[in-house]
Amino acid sequence: MDILQKEQKLLKLEEELRSLDDETAIQEISDKIKTYKQHMMSKLTSWDRVLLARHVKRPGTQDVINYLFEDFIELSGDRLYEDDQAIIGGLALFEDQPLTIIGQRKGKNTEDNIKNNFGMPHPEGYRKALRLMKQAEKFNRPIITFIDTPGAFPGIGAESRGQAMAIANNLYEMSDLKVPLIAFILGEGGSGGALAIGVGNRVFMMENSIYSILSPEGYASILWKDAKKAQEASEVMKLTSYDLKEFGIIDGIIQEPIGGAHHEPIKMYEAIYRTLRDTLRELNDMSRFELATERYNKYRKMGFLQRFNYENLQEVVK
């Protein structure tokens, strides 16, 4: 039974609770719900975390922006082609400090998902993100990014407009930005599509988010020629927040309520708020040179770790 099936049972218990008016019965069902959460929904597999990262009700970038920041002003377009709705960016205040906010957004319904291309940016989206990053550097504003994408859009149009170049250029420019850059992985962190706005001085993952070279379905298709083995692939890929923290790829894990952040989104927002506040205080004390140098060295070291882990993974696959 995966986490979504367990959630359905939990929803039935909560529905039963709402229909009761007897105090004894209410207390009995409340205790049952609490016990069920602790024993059935607290120990998650990698596949469970994949399902939660993709959950339709999971709080996304727009939700976080609306809750955490004041006076958000959206800025649009890459000044070359058009505005990509899969990337949202702009200016905002956080505890009276001006920031540049950039994030990937999906949607809450079919119409929004189509409008935002299911959170898969085109090259113009990444060029827009870089334009805002360079503007932030010019005016000495910290950059906060929110990652939630299956990956960059792989269509012919995106490729013909320079998808690979746009991502590569972002990686190159971000490595040398001389302002604080803090990245949060909210849901899915898919491949270069995620990394293109995620080269941060600090990178944090929500507990039930994922960060990987491609989707479990894609991995299973390549490795075993069978996308139906995605669940098995998710265990091999080491894509959870706990895996990546152990490897030194990320800097911290933001805990979620039992069963996922969508059950109590306010707790998620408040946890991000505390992490962002403390991290900004730390990075604001660093010089522009220190910020760029630390970030560069961080990813140089990470490249070594990735090669080491790849060699180990080859043994697992054999």
Q: Are residues 51 and 39 in the same domain?
A: no
- Hunting for tokens 């850059």 — which residue is that? 181
The answer on pLDDT for 245 being more than 70 is: yes
pLDDT above 70 (res 311)? no
- Would strands 210-212 and 252-254 be described as parallel, antiparallel, or unpaired? unpaired
Is 56 found in the same domain as 10?
no
CATH number at residue 222: 3.90.226.10
Interatomic CA distance for residues 100 and 88, integer angstroms: 11
> What is the structure's pLDDT at 186?
97
Strand partners for 254? 206
- One domain, residues 180 and 253: yes
Q: Which tens digit of pLDDT belongs to each residue from 128-181? A: 999 999 999 999 999 999 999 999 999 999 999 999 999 999 999 999 999 999
Residue 264 pLDDT > 50:
yes
Q: Looking at the structure, do residues 28 and 150 belong to the same domain, yes or no? A: no
In angstroms, the Cα distances linking 318 to 5, 224, 280, 311 are: 33, 12, 44, 11
Percent of the chain with pLDDT over 70: 95
Q: Same domain for 30 and 142?
A: no
| Strands 202-206 and 181-190, sheet pairing | parallel
As a whole number, the mean pLDDT across the chain is 90
Tell me the mean pLDDT in the region 238-260: 93
Residues 89 and 158 in one domain: yes
Work out the pLDDT band at 303, boundaries 50, 70, 90.
Answer: low
Which residues face 202 on adjacent strands? 182
Question: How far, in Å, are 72, 107, 152, 233 from residue 195 at the CA level?
Answer: 24, 21, 10, 21
Per-residue pLDDT of 62-105, as tens digits, reads 999 999 999 999 999 999 999 999 999 999 999 999 999 999 99
> Whole-structure pTM over 0.95, yes or no?
no
> How many CB atoms neighbour CB 155 within 10 A?
13
Whole-number pLDDT of residue 317: 45
Q: Are 183 and 52 contained in the same domain?
A: yes
**Is residue 310 scored above 80 in pLDDT?**
no
Rg, Å, the chain Cα set: 20
Strands (E), the chain: 70-74, 87-94, 97-104, 143-149, 181-190, 202-206, 210-212, 252-254
Residue 290 shares a structural domain with residue 168: yes
Buried b (16+ CB within 10 A) or exposed e, 62-84: bbbbeebbeebeebeebeeeeeb
Greater model confidence, 309 or 50: 50
Q: Using CB atoms within 10 A of its CB, is residue 15 exposed (0-12), middle (13-18) or buried (19+)? A: exposed
Give the pLDDT band (50/70/90) at residue 42: confident
- Say whether pLDDT at 312 is over 60: no
What is the Cα–Cα distance from 271 to 64, expressed in whole angstroms?
11
Residue 205, SS3?
A: strand
Same domain, 142 and 244: yes
Residues 34 and 57 in one domain: no
297 and 177 fall within a common domain = yes
> Which domain, by its residues, includes 25?
3-43
First-to-last CA distance in the chain?
Answer: 29
The per-residue pLDDT for range 186-222, each reduced to its tens digit, is 999 998 899 999 999 999 999 999 999 889 999 999 9
* Number of domains making up the chain: 2
Same domain, 7 and 100: no
